[in-house]
Amino acid sequence: MADDAAFTIQYRKQLHPACCAGCQAVAQTIIDSGLGDYYNHRTATSGQAEPLPDELLQQLRLYDNEELQRSFVHQETGEIREASLILEGITCAACVWLNEHHLQRLPGVVSVEINYTSHRARVRWDNSRIQLSQILEGVAAIGYRAHPYDASRQEALQARERKQAINRLWAAGLSMMQVMMYAVPVYLAGNGEIDRDFLWLLHWASFLLTLPVVLYSCVPFYQGTWRDLKRGRVGMDTPVTLGVLTAFIASTWALLTRVEHGIYFDSVSMFVFLLLGGRYLEGVARRKAGEATESLVKLLPAFAHQLPAWPDSRSVEIPVSTLTPGMLLVIRPGETIPADALVIDGDSHVNEALLTGEGHPIAKHIDSPLIAGSINLDSPLIARVTECGQSTRLAGIVRLLDQALAEKPRLARIADRFAGWFVALLILMAIGSYVVWHMIDPSRALWIMVAVLVISCPCALSLATPAALTAASGHLARLGVLITRGHTLETLARVTDVVFDKTGTLTTGKMTLLEQLTLNGNDPQRSLATAVTLEAGSSHPIAEALRAASTGATLKVAELSGIPGMGQEGIIDGKRWRLGRADFVMALSGQPLPDYAGRHPAASRILLGNETGAVASFAIGDALREDSRATMEALRQRGLTLHMLSGDGEEAVQAIAGQSGIDTWRARATPEDKLAYVEDLQQGGARVLMIGDGINDAPVLARANVSLAMGGGTDVARASGDMVLINDQLALIANAIDLAKRTLTVIRQNLWWALAYNLIALPLAVAGHVTPWVASLGMASSSLLVVSNALRLIKRNA
């Protein structure tokens, strides 16, 4: 450490020295979180935290290796990097709070977002100021373990945690049954019916059978409490630990001093069993709520088949983590595509359902893009890797989903803030109830205090919002709508106006053959083949549209040439043909311009003709998406006001507005005009959902109350949107709004239930109407009910 390094702590408007940056961060976190009185009550000076073992430090520093980081670290602009880490030891929302606040104080850490459901942390840092190993050391220093996310490793970790949870639950359940078997005769027998020596033998047996519960089953509660206390705060495990230890120590003291009416080992074993059972079921429910995100993460295979020198070599199996752009792969039928790639040989169909929500197989041929995580169905494909590791589209989707789940909306922040103070107030209330009842009835004071500590745990309050958001976001991800901001669902449920961009949003954004009019009785297919032949070799959007509409048949052509701004000319079957502007084509025959009308007045029209006159007319334009009109009708039925903004001419915008059923529209709108339009709506009290796809839509997407970017749009638009429509299906917008409203309803139900439960249960416990085991049953049931209610959002027909 440099001699002139200064680490200071601001406490009560005074600066105090600290020995190092770690102590400075911890102390300032305690003070900033409103727990500064900890220093008034501390009875001894804290020593410096013990350094981590050298062996662990060496292991952590291996993660600074650039080659190793390539498989799990995403490099942004400059030295900013982002990684997904899995955290071990997370037991409640307080653990998430502690890790986030501790890591955010490390110099060089840009942001930390932890998903309580999956225990996955998304960390961004400046690699020029801090190394990844130092971040991992920071996590280890407060009693947790962090390592790069690996699906198989997390499955093993979750399996180990489930096994430990079941073992602890089994031990508590077995103890509870045996202790209750000894306790029931004591409760039912009258005075003197059980010999005193035999009675005390039953109490000693209960004590011995309760020891495994206190020494083994309760370890997770002790660990959580100890971690919190080391940081100078109280967490959600603290009341449970205090309740268990108080009841057990008091019962043991009564046993040793032979006070018959102070022994309640049965209550200790029973409420520990109920608490562990509730926590286990809650964990199962949370994992189910987060299945959608985890299913995306687990899509990539562990190995790929590389072709070192195609077509002259056999494939070699290599780990997916070693793939680099440019490598050639063979992807066999039934295999999962390991990286984003481009097909260079082969024809097949690919299932992209988990990524895009598109249920039908998608045809792939030469030059078709492949998305990592999709499944090859029919025949082998040879593909060149374009993106791998954290640069794939799949990795980007997972990052956005993690970001959305980790961001806390307003309701969650309020609940967390209240829950943090609630624990401290709960402990004070428990102590107060003991003092009061000790004056009224000393024999009941201890157990009433234990009941107060156990019954009103704020777990349900802290779970109310995250559980619902995780379930709803997972449901939408399966459908093809990716949530990228934490506030999205809450805001989307309150939307009053929906503003659409035109090109690429309501329309496909691609030139399409909208209409073909065959003149003078000519053959339509022959006419289209002639037009495609004249456009051979051209990359103009009109040529692409004609080729896309044809069967692929072409004719022999001679003297093919193009006249800029006019069209194409060539000789086919001994006749000179022209394709292009009407005056250019009709000049060949010297006839007047034909009189034709079509259904698409705003489209670009080109004429096909030869020396005898006009043969066919083609309307080329931007086609309306198939589900546009149905989507507009669905949104209108939900009471939403619809708008369309476009930079195109008035005639084209009016035509699309008429076809889609939108009454309010504006043409020739610049990005500034769009921004002003949305701001005017907001000033009038509207809550606006903006939907767009282009770079020019980015400012208005960012300004709207909530926004949706088309998955096929620009990177800038997707980065500005609060949601991404992965498969560009507009019909999903109405589904997303419906689910957002149901999510807000579930969150409110959860919060009201948690609040009502605490308001009812706490007074009953203080009044002495609740025994400790009933208190533990109520607390476990409260948390379980909140998570189960959120699981209703997972159902597709919910």
> Which residues are part of the catalytic machinery?
501
Sign of the alpha-carbon torsion through 55, 59, 61, 65: positive
How many C-beta neighbours within 10 Å does residue 763 have? Answer: 13
CB 339 within 8 A of CB 364: no
Cα–Cα distance, 794 to 470 (Å, whole number): 9
Task: Give me the DSSP letters along 92-106.
Answer: SHHHHHHHHHHHHTS
Instruction: Please state the three-class secondary structure of 250-294 as a single string.
Output: HHHHHHHHCCHHHCCHHHHHHHHHHHHHHHHHHHHHHHHHCHHHH
Give the distance from CA 142 to its chain's centroid: 26
Distance of CA 611 to the CA centre of its chain: 63
Query: H/E element holding 87?
Result: strand 80-88
Q: Which residues contact 178 (CB under 8 A, 6 or more apart)?
A: 209
Peptide bond into 311 cis (omega under 30): yes
Burial 186-197 (b: 16+ CB within 10 A, else e): beeeeeeebeee
Which secondary-structure segment (H or E) carries 552? Answer: none
CA–CA separation, 52 vs 40, rounded Å? 29
Of the candidates 570, 567, 565, 493, the one whose C-alpha atom is nearest the C-alpha of residue 533 is: 570
What contacts 292, CB < 8 A, 6 or more positions away? 473, 474, 475, 477, 478
How many whole angstroms separate alpha carbon 664 and alpha carbon 518? 36
Can you tell me the distance from the alpha carbon of 357 to that of 632, in angstroms, rounded to the nearest whole number?
A: 21
What is the dihedral sign for C-alpha 158, 161, 167, 171?
Answer: negative
Query: Within 13 Å and on the Cβ side, how many CA atoms surround 170?
Result: 6
d(CA 103, CA 95): 12
3-state secondary structure of 460: helix
Contact at 8 Å (CB) between 162 and 141? Answer: no
SS (H, E, C) 400-458: HHHHHHHCCCHHHHHHHHHHHHHHHHHHHHHHHHHHHHHHHCHHHHHHHHHHHHHHCCC
